[in-house]
Structure 1
Amino acid sequence: MKIIVRDINQEVIDKLEVLNDLIHVIIGPRQVGKTTSVKQIAENVSYNSFYTTADGEISRSPEWLKVNYNNAINAGVELLIIDEIQKVENWAEALKELWEYREKGTMRVVVLGSSSLDLHRGLSESLAGRFYLHHFNHWSYPETLKLIDISFSDYLKYGGYPGSYVLLGSKRDWLHYIKNSIVDAVVSKDILSFTHVKSPALFRQSFDLICSYAAQEISYTKLLGQLQDKGNTDLVKNYIQLFEKAFLIKSLQKFSNKALKKKSSSPKLFPLAPSLFSSALDLDCDDEYYGHAFEISVLQELLKLPGEVYYWRERNAEVDFIYQEGKTIHAIEAKYKKSRSLKGLEAFSRLYPESKTYVVNKDNYLEVISKLSKI
């Protein structure tokens, strides 16, 4: 496969130029090329850089971070990149101390790591107000096309993780990679290693259950009942939140002008890549599957935008996605196959006449996605 430069690389380079007084943090799912991208970024900036990683069998001490940081400053390094930062003990506190006593403007710092939950914790507890966040998402269809010649229907079945594309010739090997190298690795290394979860085996099983309801509105009570576990809906909410923080699931709330109604609504659940959906079904993909997987691909693009994404439903009228940035509202209906029925968009437009509407299907997907990216 070819080596390509992701679009977000240039965004990071641009932000490093103008926001050199903040720590730049790269977060995102496992196995989407964050380390490859940051090395490409280092090769394409106009100033000298140094890359180091805290990866290893044992945790690094805060002293390791201090030594690398000070050595970089003394060597006149203008961009220091620290990979697997979560493997440094108390990394956020140690980095905060170094950053607060620095001479401003002397060095830019980029940190990244594979454990998203630990990174989130460090940012919220110690580095609030001192960092700029860069989200690296799963590979979309337009990006995947640059890497491999794949049909849209195959992308809706296998897309999201570039490392899996070399295994498309063997469904068994492909499934093994997604389930073991991606899902199980995230659950065991990113979640269970840092968070106490009631019944770890049940927690792992719940992922496939949640994926089976992809692009569907479902109550927490119904999910709890299917898990066949004693407890309350807080258990299910906690499971979903952990999967969200680990970049496996996205939970959309119902759009409403009333904040309380948004919070109390049943969520609409999405795996964050089509491959997560199909692997949970063991590649048993029928016509209905492709409709839901298509919605996942549209959501991938909307989540790159700076606003908030919801769904909307009133009685029998529904709109797949509501994208809101400030006071501007966009209603997007995702139809894998063309449909004459647009009663959901029509009903929403009557309630919110100032909104802009879009219909995206498999034939105009790239065209509409290009328009949405310029919102």
Structure 2
Amino acid sequence: MPSKPYQRQEVNTLLGRLAEPPRFLIFIAGPRQVGKTTLVRNALVQQQKTYHFIPVDQPDAPRLPGFMSAEEVAYKQDASPPDAAWLVSQWQRARAVARDSEEGHILVLDEIQKIPRWSEAVKGLWDADRAEGLKLHIVLLGSSPLLMQKGMTESLAGRFELIRVTHWSFLEMHEAFDYDLDDYLYFGGYPGSAPYIRDEPRWRNYVRGSLIEPSIEKDILMMTRVDKPALLKHLFHLGCNYSGQILSYTKMQGQLQDAGNTVTLAHYLDLLGNAGLIYGIQKFAGQKYRQRASSPKLNVLNNALMTAGSGYTKAEAKADRSYWGRLVESTVGAHLYNTGHPDCQLYYWREGSREVDFVIQGGRKLTVIEVKSGPGSGYAEGLDVFAESFGKCRKLLVGEGGIPIAEFLSHPAEHWL
């Protein structure tokens, strides 16, 4: 629990949607253990409508006191296994409450992607509600962004609004848990792990057992077809070891056993990115086809993924200047992706010996960023070379001799465009 009361800004976004007439399905999507369920519960208890909150993967689980309305208790009688018929049954009960209420009603389904063919069932039920003009808000949560996205785009296009929940930023972890910058660089932004950071072995066990393994096993391997699960797991660990570095698919094949072809590796890297684990940053080249064909720069999306299995304690990591520099760069990359996607596109750039760590693009605006984690680094010449090649852009030096790391991490990506 936070050391002091804390509420993420997405709570206010959700409250605003719930105060309006139900025009769209509301999707809350993001990686595992970033507080999606807590966020929704916080919003529910601050609004006036009755609501029905069901975790799909635990349909018979008892409710915590203070988080349910009287209607919720009635819903829990004779619960059925979570399939399409079960979903229809729960929806029908929510409709009955909504029809008897002037204010309307809210139905929340957590881990919706675990219901087979969920998006097709939701489409028919939602369209019927709109035809009736029913005052029933539907909030859907999921920790498998890939399956959520597939269902939304294939069956529910034009019927939903997405509230994207990302990993916690430095500012959030500082305000909620009193993290300093070094804490954030090493321990990352998982709120559930915050109580354990002064007991590092326990912290590492929690991250590996409660965050990494479920993210891979439950959110990827159980939810989508993966022909070589061992390869995907090895690719994850490779990405953690090489975070902040450019690594060609050919070199990946040399590092991995049973590596398959580059198309398979690229696909598995996309799966890891969609699960909020590791992102393969593409090279900025102006032409989309050249960007896609480039060697990716691997970047963890939460530094805890990188450090939990590194073998370093926090003190040892700080003592290794090269490794600490990679932590700083990985933190900046994760921050840009988590606070910018999908409105800001994230790239790197390199041509010969000249390079810049990150390029962010929003519409016609470009910003190039070089990260300096140690003294005596000097100005990054690559920033000027990039500007000569691609025209007008904003050039930023982050870290030693430039914008302080903590200040940079206190603003979203769009702020720096």
Q: What TM-score does the superposition give when structure 2 sets the normalisation length?
A: 0.83
The AA in structure 2 aligned to 1:347 is V
Q: Pick from 152, 161, 165: which aligns with 1:136?
A: 165
Please state how far the C-alpha of 1:121 moved relative to its aligned partner: 3.0
Query: Among 362, 370, 377, which residue is 1:333 paired with?
Result: 370
Structure 2 vs 1, CA of residues 199 and 61 (structure 1 numbering), >3 Å: closer, same or farther?
Answer: closer
Equivalent residue runs for 1:65-104 within 5 Å: 65-76=87-98, 77-102=104-129, 103-104=132-133
Higher mean Cα deviation, 121-130 or 271-280? 121-130
Residue equivalent to 2:380 = 342
**Residues of 1 paired with 2:159 and 2:211: CA distance?**
31
Pick which of 216-225 and 196-205 moved more.
Answer: 196-205
Aligned to 1:302: 336
How far 1:56 sits from its partner (Å)? Answer: 2.3
Following the alignment from structure 1 to structure 2, what is the Cα–Cα distance between the partners of residues 335 and 20? 48
The answer to which of 173-182 and 192-201 deviates more is: 192-201
Aligned mate of 2:155, from 117, 126, 142:
126
- From 351, 364, 386, the equivalent of 1:314 is 351
Task: Give the deviation of 1:350 after TM superposition.
Answer: 2.1
1:164 counterpart residue number: 193
Q: After the TM superposition, which residues 12-31 of structure 1 pair with which residues of structure 2 at under 5 Å, given as runs?
A: 12-16=14-18, 20-31=22-33
> Using the alignment, how far apart are the partners of 1:197 and 1:308 within structure 2?
27
- Contact preservation (8 Å) 1:59, 1:87: no
**CA 1:336–1:48: 2 relative to 1, 3 Å:** farther
Would the alpha carbon gap of residues 358 and 46 (structure 1) be closer, same or farther in structure 2, given more than 3 Å must change? farther
- The change in CA–CA distance for 1:19 and 1:350 in structure 2 (over 3 A counts) is farther
> 1:61 aligned to 70, 74, 83, which one?
83
Residue 198 (str. 1) matches residue 238 (str. 2): no
Change (3 A) 1:87 1:194: closer
Query: C-alpha separation between the residues in 1 aligned to 2:357 and 2:134?
Result: 45
1:111 paired with 2:140, answer yes
SS of structure 1 residue aligned to 2:308: helix
* Superposed CA offset, 1:162-199 (max 9, x none): 11111112222111111111111111111111233234
Q: CA deviation at 1:18?
A: 6.1
Q: CA RMSD in A?
A: 2.3
CA distance in 2, matches of 1:194, 1:331: 37
The aligned runs of 1:26-45 (5 Å cut-off) are 26-45=28-47
CA contact (8 A) 1:81 1:110 kept: yes
Contact 1:319/1:331 (<8 A) preserved = yes
Gaps of 5+ in 2: 60-79, 99-103
2:271 to 238, 242, 252: 242
Q: Which amino acid aligns with 1:79?
A: I
Q: Which secondary structure state, in structure 1, belongs to the residue aligned with residue 205 of structure 2?
A: helix
Aligned twin of 2:404: 364
1:266: which partner in 2?
Answer: 295
Partner of 1:154: 183
2:282 paired with 1:282: no
Q: 1:143 to 1:109 in 2, by over 3 A?
A: same
What is the DSSP-based 3-state SS (H/G/I as helix, E as strand, rest coil) of the residue aligned with 1:66?
A: helix
Displacement after TM superposition at 1:16 (Å):
4.8
Runs of 4+ in 1 over 6 A off after TM superposition: none
Letter matched to residue 99 of structure 1:
W
- Structure 1 or 2, whichever has the larger Rg, is 2
CA apart distance, 1:97? 0.7
**Judging changes above 3 Å, is the alpha-carbon distance between structure 1 residues 223 and 230 closer, same or farther for their aligned structure 2 residues?**
closer
Alpha-carbon spacing, 1:329–1:230, altered in 2? closer, same or farther (3 Å): closer
Aligned to 1:354: 392
SS at match of 1:80: strand
Of stretches 344-353 and 252-261 in structure 1, the one that deviates more from structure 2 is 344-353
**Contact kept in structure 1, 2:181 and 2:406, CA below 8 Å:** no
Match 2:213 to one of 184, 190, 195: 184
Distance 1:295 1:80 in 2: 42
Q: Is 170-179 or 192-201 further displaced after alignment?
A: 192-201
Q: Give the letter aligned to residue 348 of structure 1.
A: F
Q: Is the 8 A contact 2:300 2:334 kept in 1?
A: no
